[in-house]
């Protein structure tokens, strides 16, 4: 009897299970696709290349030869662009223009000739514009030196590499009168221009890429290169009033490139005026002079002149007075003095006129112009 009851229970449970499965099949039957779904081959290794209010989307051609077109969606599928897949080529790409400056998520779907779609593939990229451009800083020029042979050496300051600075561009006129451009990497601390037209300057700007995949460069505005420092390696002192004995006091220290040395005129055997005549090696347009007191002594030396004079010449015979100037002998650092008429000269003369002692102690002198 117990055996018969067990058999009846088993049949009852089997009937319930069959009934439940039948109802489940009926529920999902409407979603079953006969023969299964067919997907087109998806976009392979997609990349988004940023640009100026645009983004380039590119991917590798897949192995599915039936794919004939694609669509790229963005802004949560509100915007899209269709792409025809050419019969040959390894890479498929499309440029999306007129984008606002922000990051985007792009969705790529490919389609075969029967309209079957691939699974979606996402790639993230950004568009850059005025907001990015406004924060870019031009790499500064610390100094520009020109020598007697016309070689221009630009000494650069630090570059804004955090925002993508990668090069400096220099625009100038060459010796044949042609406008030229040279580009120098920001890793270079100095750059040389060898064919600058005499008595002309240059302009410079900095080039940026916001990221490594950017298809566009961004530029700061051009700045003027300004005046040049004349290379003192070409200079020689051809005449001077006196110098105290010993190499530490030599007049040549006046043009050796540092205010840490000194020109000390003869103590006890000289008096004002004290002078030094300098040959720059080539004729230049002089726009200003720079003068330093010496820092040879700790803290600086106040035994310089209170007043001095500059004279210029093209031939060492005829001299033009460029003015008398006051000098602050109590402070360290360069003091600049403009010439009155930007004279053309190869020679100039520094003349100390008056000071607290009969002798004079000076640090360094420079000349600037074109």
pLDDT tens figures, 26-83: 443 443 444 456 788 999 999 999 999 999 999 998 889 999 999 999 999 999 999 9
Exposed/middle/buried for residue 101 (C-beta within 10 Å: 0-12, 13-18, 19+): middle
Phi and psi for 296 in degrees, rounded to 5? -60, -40
The token pair at 326 is 């006051």
| Eight-state DSSP code of residue 116 | P
Distance CA 110, CA 358 (A): 92
- Residue-range domains of the chain with CATH: 44-128 (2.60.40.10), 135-226 (2.60.40.10), 232-369 (2.60.120.260)
Collapsing DSSP to helix, strand or coil, 248 comes out as: helix
Q: Is this structure's pTM higher than 0.75?
A: yes
Collapsing DSSP to helix, strand or coil, 327 comes out as: coil
| Nearest CA among 228, 209, 234 for reference residue 141 | 228
Write the CA distances from 277 to 26, 54, 202, integer angstroms. Answer: 109, 62, 30
Give mean pLDDT, residues 323-335: 98
pLDDT at 89: 87
The token pair at 282 is 């080539």
Q: What is the pLDDT of residues 247-279, one digit of tens each?
A: 999 999 999 999 999 999 999 999 999 999 999
252 touches 239 (CB < 8 A): no
Distance CA 327, CA 280 (A): 23
The token pair at 362 is 């000076």
Q: Above 90 in pLDDT, residue 119?
A: yes
Residues 273-282 as b/e (b if ≥16 CB within 10 A, e otherwise) read ebbbbbbbbe
């Amino acid at each position: 009897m117990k055996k018969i009851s067990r058999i009846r229970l088993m049949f009852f449970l089997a009937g319930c299970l069959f009934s439940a499965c039948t109802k489940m099949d009926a529920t999902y039957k409407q979603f079953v696709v006969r023969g299964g779904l067919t997907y087109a081959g998806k976009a392979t290794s997609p990349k988004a290349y940023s640009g100026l209010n645009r983004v380039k989307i590119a991917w590798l051609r897949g192995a599915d030869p039936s794919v004939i077109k694609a669509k790229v969606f963005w802004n949560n599928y509100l915007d899209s662009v269709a792409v025809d897949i050419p019969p040959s080529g390894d890479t498929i790409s499309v440029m999306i223009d007129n984008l606002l400056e922000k990051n985007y998520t792009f969705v790529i779907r490919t389609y075969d000739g029967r309209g079957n779609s691939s699974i979606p593939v996402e790639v993230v990229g950004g568009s850059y514009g005025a907001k990015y451009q406004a924060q870019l800083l031009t790499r500064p020029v610390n100094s520009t030196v020109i020598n007697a042979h016309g070689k221009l050496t630009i000494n650069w300051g630090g570059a804004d590499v955090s925002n993508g600075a990668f090069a400096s561009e220099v625009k100038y006129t060459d010796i044949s009168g042609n406008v030229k451009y040279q580009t120098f990497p920001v890793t270079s601390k100095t750059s040389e221009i060898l064919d600058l037209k005499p008595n002309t300057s240059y302009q410079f700007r900095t080039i940026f890429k916001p990221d490594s995949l950017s298809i566009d460069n961004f530029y700061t505005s051009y700045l003027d290169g300004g005046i040049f420092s004349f290379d003192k390696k070409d200079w020689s002192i051809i005449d001077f009033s006196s110098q105290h004995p010993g190499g530490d006091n030599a007049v040549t220290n006046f043009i050796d490139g540092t205010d840490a040395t000194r020109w000390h005129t003869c103590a006890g055997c000289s008096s004002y005026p004290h002078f030094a005549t300098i040959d720059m090696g080539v004729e230049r347009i002089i726009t200003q002079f720079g003068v330093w007191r010496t820092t040879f002594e700790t803290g600086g030396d106040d035994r310089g002149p209170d007043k001095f004079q500059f004279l210029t010449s093209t031939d060492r015979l005829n001299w033009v007075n460029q003015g008398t100037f006051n000098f602050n002998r109590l402070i360290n650092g360069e003091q600049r003095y403009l010439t009155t008429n930007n004279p053309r000269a190869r020679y100039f003369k520094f003349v100390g006129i008056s000071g607290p002692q009969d002798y004079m102690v000076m640090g360094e002198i420079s000349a600037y112009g074109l």
